[in-house]
Amino acid sequence: MTIRNKTLIAIIITFIMLIVILYIVLGSVFQQGFIRLEEKDTHTNVKRVINILSREIDTFNAFNWDWSSWDDTYTFIEDSNEEYIKSNLMDQTFIGARLNLMLFINSSNQVVFGKAFDLEEEEEIPIPEDLQKHLLPDSLLTKYSNTDSSVKGIILLSKYPMLITSRSILTSDNEGPIRGVLIMGRYLESTEIEHLAQISNLSINVQKFNDSQSPLDFQKAFSILSEDEPIFIQPLNNELIAGYALIKDIYGEPILVLRANMPRDIYRQSQITRRYFIFSILAIGMIFSLLVLLFLVRLVLFPIDRVNKYLDIVTSTKDLSFRIPLKGKDEISKLSKTINLMLEKLEASRKELWDSRELYKNLFENMPGAYYRTDKDGNLIMINPEGAKSFGYNSSEDILGKEISQHLYFASEERKKYLKELENNKGNLKDFEITLKKKDGSPLVISDTSHYYYDKEGNIAGVEGIFVDITERKQTEEALRKSHQEFVSLFKSSPEALVYLDENSNIINVNPRFTELFGYTLEEIKGRNINEGFIHPLYKIEEGEKLDKLAMSKGYFIYESIRKKKDGALFPVSISGSNIVIDGQTKGAIGIYVDITERKKMEEELEKLAHFDILTGCYSRGYGLALLEEQIKT
């Protein structure tokens, strides 16, 4: 595909992306502005409906005040005269005032007169039974403490919600004493809701709060409306948006949710405005794109085409000394200069590459370590001369092509273990020890550092790495291990009590004979200083410190002294010690304790035989004369 076609495609894609981005931006930013405006307008309308409802309740309360603060009513609540009932409480009064309920309750909380009325059928009906719980003594509707008290609002009954107002019964001059209360009620049913809709010029619907039978949009409103968020807005469809308001009863508890529906005029206008804007951008963009394409062809594409023809010459001739003869000060001219500079560097790099190739070849063939590479089937495809020599072959060609698990591993199952370990370490291993097999069948222990290498598609092509022959090192380590085992065996099985100290005389190890002699196990005294006094009488601690210093500095000593068992018993011992020197530095000492109790007893017996007569029990003649001579001298 030519640059001209690519440029045309780029302009078209850019133009399409511009339109898409503008559409998204207008949808997410511009459109959001209209949506917020629509929500604000809906919120205002919902508040207006709530205010209309409040005014209706206030008007209703004022109507009650006209009746409750009236001398005739003040008299009626006392004498219950029939004339008052005939003159004032006829059906026409309920119809004209849109009343569903009137209750006259005296100060003793007795209903003097009560009447419920069905406005639709225009006939008297029984007073709702569930109203009784609101008329109990000391209830909000029946108890007043002063002449200005009143209650107005809504209560929830089983049939419908009811607008309710309750006022104290006073004289026409609003004076007491209070003789009772007058309660008036009006059902908030379809006729009353339609009345509110006509006043507000909106479609209104009312549902009981948290009613599971309510429509789905009300269900969502129930979950969101709260004390902190009493109004909720949501679109119903592209034509209508609804605002929901939480309505509380006279006790302050939420009982109803009012919904006001409004046409989405603002939303529709935003859609029209966005379409006009997109069409305008589309027309401007097409004209602009055409002009850009013309300028690109004249100022960019044509000079680039010339540069391309010169590069074809370099490609066909493979002459890196060729230079592009294009001059000027624009970017295309600078590109030509850059290409010429690149050709110079390529020419120099060709020579460096040749030199590097020779250097790599020398490094590969003469490196002291063994480099190898296998394919994914485990066949050896590359190895340097040092590697071939490690296996006992004269040249790399003699070993290449061999399947290494069969021909080069001492045990073929070790190859599976190696590959598993390589996989577990994400294709990289360092200092992994393997036992391979030389040409003559003898073992070759190596330390291998290797990794996967990959083909162009990123698939594992095989394994490559470097290994070092550590056969001699492993033999040395084995000899050291055996020597250590021999030392440990001698230490544990020695018939004398042995203690192994560090350079600070702290106990590192003791043998079983030490435990048998002194009564202490290794767990009890490991890490403790041997001169703390647990095997020394107090007067021998200083002596023990001197003996340790002697062992550390002189290298060897033998000494007889007294030591203490775990149970506190003192006994004579022969002590010998020798320092431990590692790399020319003293790292600790070995102490040997021999119980000489029996020997000491035997020496005392021999001395007694030498100085006393066995038959008489008296000093022998020679010993007696020696003592007498000693006394005379003193």
Alpha carbon separation from 43 to 46, 256, 267 (Å, rounded):
5, 18, 15
- What pLDDT is attached to residue 8? 72
Helix (H) or strand (E) holding 162: strand 161-168
pLDDT of residue 611: 67
Position 485 scores a pLDDT of 83
Of 408, 410, 404, which Cα lies nearest the Cα of 377?
404
Blockwise average pLDDT, block size 10, the chain, 634 residues: 72 80 68 81 91 92 93 92 91 92 91 92 91 88 81 91 93 89 92 90 90 89 88 89 92 91 82 76 79 74 72 77 73 76 78 73 73 89 87 87 86 86 89 88 88 90 88 80 81 90 92 93 92 89 88 83 92 90 86 91 80 63 67 69
> Residue 142 CA to chain centroid, in angstroms?
60
177: preceding bond cis by omega (within 30 degrees): yes
3-state helix, strand, coil in the chain (%, to 5): 50, 25, 25
Residue 575: strand, helix, or coil: strand
With beta carbons less than 8 A apart as the criterion, state whether 573 and 593 touch.
Answer: yes
* Contact residues for 580 (Cβ-Cβ < 8 A; gap 6+): 586, 587, 588, 589, 590
pLDDT of residue 624: 63
Q: Other CB atoms closer than 10 Å to residue 161's CB: what's the count?
A: 20
Token pair for residue 609? 């035989």
Backbone φ and ψ for 177, nearest 5 degrees, come out as -70, 160
